[in-house]
Amino acid sequence: MRRTVAGFLVAFCLVGCSVWTSGVAQAPAVQSAADHPSEQRTLAGGSGAPTHDATWWKHAVIYEIYPRSFQDTNGDGIGDLNGIRERMGYLEALGVDAIWIAPMYPSPQVDFGYDISDYESVDSQYGTMKDFDALLAAGKQHHVRIILDMVLNHTSDKHRWFVESASSRTNPKADWYVWNDGVKVDAPGVTAYQKRFEHDGMVPPNNWESLFGGSAWEWVPARKQFYYHRFYKQQPDLNWRNPAVEKAMFDTMRFWLDKGVAGFRLDAIPELFEDPQLRNNTETGGVNAQGDPNMTSQYTSNLPEVHEVIRRMRAMVNSYPGDRVLIGETYLPNMAEMLKWYGGAARNELELPMDMLVGFSDGYSAAHFRQTIGAAETELDGAQPLFVFDNHDNARSITRYGDGVHDVAIAKTVAAMLLTTRATALTYYGAEIGMPTTPPTRKQDVKDPIGITGWPKEKGRDGERTPMQWTPGLDAGFSTAKTTWLPIAPDYKTVNVQTESGEPESLLNWYKELIALRRTNAALHDGGFVMLDAGDANVLAYVRTAPQGSAPVVVAINMSGQAKTVSLDVSKAGVKGKTARTIAASEDSLKGLTSLENVQLPAYSAWVVEVR
């Protein structure tokens, strides 16, 4: 659901397959939660018992790649699949288990790939199917799985299905999209907003808006009807009430599963269905950046019918070997709604709905993260959370949380939360080196259409999509082109992989250190989770309880701009030891500490210790 944070808050105010083992170093053998009956979900603030489940995605670090921006190998200023393949060694060294590649299918690029014109091919600007096959092979060699973005809600208006559907009311695909006659402009109840989109005396049937501005209904003279588009008008919504649509889209997914992809990230998946009665969404007052009325999405998003589709999809994907995974782009208002996307107790829908409440709502505070991480631990019935702080639609976390002075230190605390909790970790290219959001300063430089229509209140998403910064040299090592598709951020001479690789205290090396611990430390790999010090306004602290024969791990993060002294009482987590052994610390002063008592945490610091 490609939208900004602000948009999310407004909307929710209301077949031989090529598979392989993960290559992850295995933690010591552990007992399951069933071997610890006294600990099972009895500890405040989390699932206290360790578990052991070798399913790869439950321990994974997944790395989103925006293909236009990762690595250009042919000098046209646009990243490509061969560029991703060339950087597989870097991804393996970082510790990535899988990459999610944003759409690389043929597309008119109105929404930079999220408007797909052919689901079973590769856009020529990114390469060929041969290049994709080589990428899969390189991933296998480097123990990095490939996850594809699958856009099921809509196609491009240039897709052959829509071209046929729009041609008449009687063609074989006439009912593959959401069409409506509209209502007469002078009909009772027609609003002034609807009248803005009048055609031949007809207006859209209701007040539904595109998330990218204007009415969600577009007139087609050949049919004398409107079609529905939740996003840009060039992205008509498929009619998922038509079984032929489901079959066609499932067949497309099988095409890539047969090639050996590890699964899919499902774009805008709550948007598949709309209210068949076409009831108006509720207006909430005021206007958005595009000048349209603010309104809820109760009749256009997260309708119950979508879960039936997901259950069938999960069964189809489960027919393939290798623990293929379905990840959902699920901007949801609370944990109760999140649990539905797992399939509730049946666990027969998505393996990993994205939890956007932790990393994309509210601000940077111990109270916020304690509440949201705690909710994921206590209100999902033990399901595996997926945390995410950065993606291609939102300002980067180092920019959202940074204060302009301690940005890197704050980014290290965010990395600590992402990589030491029980959740599967989803990160975004450049987060590991601290790439900031670099928005355009002039409207004429904007590439993202939503930034053009919403300027200056909405500057679009170009700022979080700038090219990856590899070196301090030409084009930051991203390209050899005279002009890259988006400008290189001006900080590239210091914020880049080459420079940070040689700096022991860099953000990049902090990521590598934490990811390595996540793989090899038994408590971080398989331990339970218990929140500590619920009343502390500044320090977030928690325990990863230990599998049998291993040491528990305590994580303490100071989220204030002043040093804080804490004594960490781990007894409520069933931990008896008091001797601390630092295994990771973002500040040198923490590295030699041996006690959990009277610990002085520097401003914006993270401390990770084993307790003996």
Per-residue pLDDT reduced to its tens digit, 569-593: 999 899 988 899 999 999 999 999 9
Determine if the peptide bond prior to 456 is cis (ω within 30°). yes
CB-neighbour burial class of residue 346 (10 A; exposed 0-12, middle 13-18, buried 19+): exposed
CA distance 341 to 527: 24
434 inside domain: yes
CA distance 106 to 115: 9
Mean pLDDT confidence for 437-452 = 96
Residues annotated as catalytic are 267, 329
pLDDT of residue 521: 97
Question: Chain-wide mean pLDDT for the chain?
Answer: 92
| 334, 478: one domain | yes
| 355, 229: one domain | no
pLDDT of residue 51: 81
346 inside domain: yes
Q: Higher-confidence residue: 362 or 155?
A: 155
Could you give the 3-state DSSP secondary structure of residue 369? helix
Per-residue pLDDT reduced to its tens digit, 229-268: 999 999 999 999 999 999 999 999 999 999 999 999 999 9
8 A C-beta contact, residue 353 and residue 332 = yes
- Hey, what are 208's tokens? 């539904």
In sequence order, which ranges of 521-556 are alpha helices (DSSP H)? 522-526
Could you give the 3-state DSSP secondary structure of residue 65? strand
Angle between the N-to-C axes of helices 507-520 and 407-420, in degrees from 0 to 180, rounded to the nearest 10: 10
CA distance 85 to 126: 12
pLDDT of residue 577: 87
Rounded percentage of the chain residues whose pLDDT exceeds 90: 88
CA distance 267 to 259: 20
Mean pLDDT confidence for 431-448 = 97
The widest CA-to-CA distance across the chain, in whole angstroms, is 78
- Hey, what are 86's tokens? 């060339």
Region of residue 263 (left: phi > 0; alpha: psi -120 to 50; beta: else): left
Asked if the model's pLDDT at residue 351 lies above 60, the reply is: yes
Sign of torsion over alpha carbons 180, 186, 192, 197: positive
444 inside domain: yes
Asked if the model's pLDDT at residue 343 lies above 70, the reply is: yes
610 inside domain: no
pLDDT of residue 52: 81
Domain CATH number, residue 215 = 3.90.400.10
For the CA atoms of 248, 129, 320, 329, what is the dihedral angle to 10 degrees?
-70
| 146, 163: one domain | no
8 A C-beta contact, residue 601 and residue 556 = yes
| 174, 306: one domain | no
Per-residue pLDDT reduced to its tens digit, 461-485: 999 999 999 999 999 999 999 999 9
CB atoms within 10 A of CB 418: 26
Domain end among 212, 237, 262: 237
8 A C-beta contact, residue 127 and residue 80 = yes
Per-residue pLDDT reduced to its tens digit, 520-566: 999 999 999 999 988 899 999 999 999 889 999 999 999 999 999 99
- Hey, what are 415's tokens? 């990395």
Could you give the 3-state DSSP secondary structure of residue 422? coil
8 A C-beta contact, residue 589 and residue 607 = no
Domain end among 460, 480, 510: 510
DSSP assignment string, 199-236: BTTEE-SS--B-TTSSBSEEEETTTTEEEE-SS-TTSP
| 276, 414: one domain | yes
pLDDT of residue 26: 32
Please tell me the total count of domains within the chain.
Answer: 2
CB-neighbour burial class of residue 16 (10 A; exposed 0-12, middle 13-18, buried 19+): exposed
| 162, 306: one domain | no
pLDDT of residue 424: 98
299 inside domain: yes
- Of the candidates 329, 326, 395, the one whose C-alpha atom is nearest the C-alpha of residue 364 is 395
Q: Is residue 47 very low, low, confident or very high in pLDDT (cuts 50, 70, 90)?
A: low
- Of the candidates 335, 160, 326, 168, the one whose C-alpha atom is nearest the C-alpha of residue 248 is 160
Specify the residue for token string 């948009």.
Answer: 7
Per-residue pLDDT reduced to its tens digit, 475-527: 999 999 999 999 999 999 999 999 999 999 999 999 999 999 999 999 999 99
8 A C-beta contact, residue 229 and residue 236 = yes
Distance of alpha carbon 298 from the chain centroid: 23
Domain CATH number, residue 420 = 3.20.20.80
Per-residue pLDDT reduced to its tens digit, 51-110: 888 999 999 999 999 999 999 999 999 999 999 999 999 999 999 999 999 999 999 999
8 A C-beta contact, residue 483 and residue 314 = no
Asked if the model's pLDDT at residue 7 lies above 90, the reply is: no
Per-residue pLDDT reduced to its tens digit, 160-201: 999 999 999 999 999 999 999 999 999 999 999 999 999 999
Region of residue 329 (left: phi > 0; alpha: psi -120 to 50; beta: else): beta
| 220, 338: one domain | no
Burial 100-124 (b: 16+ CB within 10 A, else e): bbbbbbbbebbbbbbbbbbbeebbe
CA distance 574 to 43: 9
Tell me the residue range of the domain where 283 lies.
5-14+52-153+245-510
Asked if the model's pLDDT at residue 44 lies above 80, the reply is: no
- Give the up-direction half-sphere exposure of residue 484: CA atoms within 13 A in the CB hemisphere: 25
Mean pLDDT confidence for 153-160 = 98
| 162, 258: one domain | no
Distances, alpha carbon 434 to alpha carbons 77, 79, 158, 428, in Å:
22, 20, 38, 11
- Of the candidates 189, 212, 213, the one whose C-alpha atom is nearest the C-alpha of residue 203 is 189
599 inside domain: no
259 inside domain: yes
pLDDT of residue 535: 87
| 214, 273: one domain | no
| 111, 170: one domain | no
Sign of torsion over alpha carbons 487, 491, 492, 493: positive
- Of the candidates 365, 366, 439, 440, the one whose C-alpha atom is nearest the C-alpha of residue 401 is 365
pTM: 0.93
CA distance 569 to 532: 8
pLDDT of residue 19: 30
| 201, 295: one domain | no
Domain end among 208, 237, 266: 237
Query: What would the 3-class secondary structure string for 111-173 be?
Result: CCCCCCCCCCCCCCCCCCHHHHHHHHHHHHHHCCEEEEEEECCECCCCCHHHHHHCCCCCCCC
596 inside domain: no
Strand partners of residue 601:
564
Q: Is residue 46 very low, low, confident or very high in pLDDT (cuts 50, 70, 90)?
A: low
Distances, alpha carbon 538 to alpha carbons 405, 510, 513, 541, in Å:
18, 22, 25, 10
8 A C-beta contact, residue 488 and residue 466 = yes
Strand partners of residue 388:
426
| 203, 312: one domain | no
CA distance 81 to 483: 19
DSSP assignment string, 260-289: T--EEEEETGGGS---TT-PPPPEEEEE-T
